[in-house]
């Protein structure tokens, strides 16, 4: 291995990251670029995306502004990866379905006017991205002999949640979308793993980000949580996990990782 390969282990890999204007997605882009990857980033807030492009360098990051559940946005992410970044012979080979939003409350107490947007973002957009990535990765594999399926790693990562594995009656509408993400990821892993494509699920506990405000959590309640179980996770904690997963040799798959603040006992 050349010295530059150990300094930049993700050199020549091209990543797509949705939900990159804040929190986990933004931190993940920084970490991917630090390790040498190129990124195509997505979110609805143009100025926040452009700030991150400027920070990371235009040669390293390109932006696709828009709703990640729009079919045209999904297609553009892959087209920009193909034509604008990295080695033109290389397609995107890391795809991270991260965009999402929470919603405080149960089926009875949450605001039903926000259900559709949440389901569209957390479930439909995630499914569309898995589908597009899976189809493209499979077409690159067509005709290859089994030993060549692992010639270079291809990763699809899905951002689930601890409440997508352990039922939390207090955020059950949000939790149901993450149970769905859990199921989509595991089903895709079973379908695509034998073709040499890794589908990984990350299930974080409490991460401090814009998430709590968007979900409508009572700030006093969240302060109490931080006092009780803190320090809670910060977005770079998840970003390091993402790059650890995608840096494994192509035959090694960390397929499902729960990551919590050490003092979080539940969910
Ligand atoms: N924070 C936590 O405690 C926690 C725990 C477990 C799992 N998660 C999951 O981790 C992921 C990231 O959360 P976070 O903590 O980083 O939250 P965050 O700080 O609120 O960031 C959410 C990101 O998603 C983007 N987004 C939301 N709706 C979108 C849409 N329709 N189209 C495109 N982008 C959209 C937002 O960008 P724009 O507003 O610019 O569109 C933003 O960049 C989510 O899937 C979340 O469910 C979070």
- What does the pLDDT look like over 228-258, one tens digit per residue? 999 999 999 999 999 999 999 999 999 999 9
pLDDT of residue 73: 98
Output the residue whose Cα is nearest ligand 1's atom 31.
Answer: 67
Q: Which of 18, 22, 232 to mutate to test the pocket of ligand 1 (most atoms within 8 A of CB)?
A: 22
What is the rounded distance in angstroms from the CA atom of residue 25 to the CA atom of residue 63? 13
231 Cβ contact partners less than 8 Å away, ≥ 6 residues apart: 261
Q: Separation of 142 CA from ligand 1 center, angstroms? A: 34
167 Cβ contact partners less than 8 Å away, ≥ 6 residues apart: 175, 267
Output the residue whose Cα is nearest ligand 1's atom 30.
Answer: 67
Fold of 3-259: Rossmann fold (3.40.50)
pLDDT of residue 12: 79
| Contact between residue 127 and residue 161 where contact means Cβ atoms under 8 Å apart | no
Q: Separation of 150 CA from ligand 1 center, angstroms? A: 31
Output the residue whose Cα is nearest ligand 1's atom 44.
Answer: 100
pLDDT of residue 254: 98
pTM for this one? 0.97
Q: Which of 99, 128, 208 to mutate to test the pocket of ligand 1 (most atoms within 8 A of CB)?
A: 99
Any residues with Cβ below 6 Å from ligand 1, and which? 18-25, 42-45, 48, 67-69, 98-102, 121, 159, 161, 204, 206-207, 209-211, 214, 235
pLDDT of residue 264: 97
Output the residue whose Cα is nearest ligand 1's atom 7.
Answer: 161
Q: Which of 17, 23, 27 to mutate to test the pocket of ligand 1 (most atoms within 8 A of CB)?
A: 23
pLDDT of residue 8: 85
pLDDT under 50: residue ranges of the chain = 1, 3
Phi/psi region, residue 216 (left: phi>0; alpha: psi -120 to 50; beta: rest), is left
Residue 164: DSSP 8-state: G
pLDDT of residue 1: 45
Q: Is 198 helix (H, G, I), strand (E, B) or coil?
A: strand
In which order are the strands placed within the sheet that holds 197-204? 61-65, 38-43, 14-18, 94-97, 154-159, 197-204, 256-259
Residues forming beta bridges with residue 233, ordered by sequence position: 207
Output the residue whose Cα is nearest ligand 1's atom 23.
Answer: 19
Ligand 1 atom closest to 177 (CA)? 47
What is the rounded distance in angstroms from the CA atom of residue 255 to the CA atom of residue 252? 9
Q: Which of 120, 211, 230 to mutate to test the pocket of ligand 1 (most atoms within 8 A of CB)?
A: 211
pLDDT of residue 6: 81
């Amino acid at each position: 291995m050349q010295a530059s390969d150990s300094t930049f282990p993700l050199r020549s890999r091209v990543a797509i990251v949705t939900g990159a204007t804040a929190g986990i997605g933004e931190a993940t882009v920084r970490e991917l670029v630090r390790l040498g990857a190129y990124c195509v980033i997505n979110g609805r807030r143009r100025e926040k995306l452009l700030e991150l492009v400027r920070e990371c360098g235009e040669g390293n990051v390109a932006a696709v502004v828009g709703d990640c559940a729009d079919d045209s946005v999904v297609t553009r992410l892959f087209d920009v990866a193909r034509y604008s970044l990295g080695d033109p012979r290389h397609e995107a080979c890391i795809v991270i379905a991260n965009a999402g939003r929470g919603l405080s409350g149960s089926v009875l107490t949450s605001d039903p006017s926000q259900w559709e947007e949440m389901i569209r973002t957390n479930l439909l957009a995630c499914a569309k991205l898995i589908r597009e990535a899976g189809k493209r990765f499979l077409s690159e594999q067509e005709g290859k002999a089994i030993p060549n399926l692992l010639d270079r790693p291809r990763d699809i990562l899905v951002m689930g949640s601890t409440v997508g594995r352990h039922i939390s009656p207090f955020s059950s509408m949000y939790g149901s979308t993450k149970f769905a993400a859990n199921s989509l990821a595991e089903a895709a892993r079973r379908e695509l793993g034998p073709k040499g494509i890794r589908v990984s699920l990350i299930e974080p506990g409490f991460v401090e980000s814009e998430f709590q405000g968007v979900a409508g959590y009572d700030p006093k309640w969240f302060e109490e949580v931080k006092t009780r179980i803190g320090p809670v996770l910060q977005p770079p904690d998840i970003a390091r996990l993402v790059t650890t997963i995608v840096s494994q040799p192509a035959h090694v798959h960390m397929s499902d990782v729960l990551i919590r603040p050490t003092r979080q006992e539940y969910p």
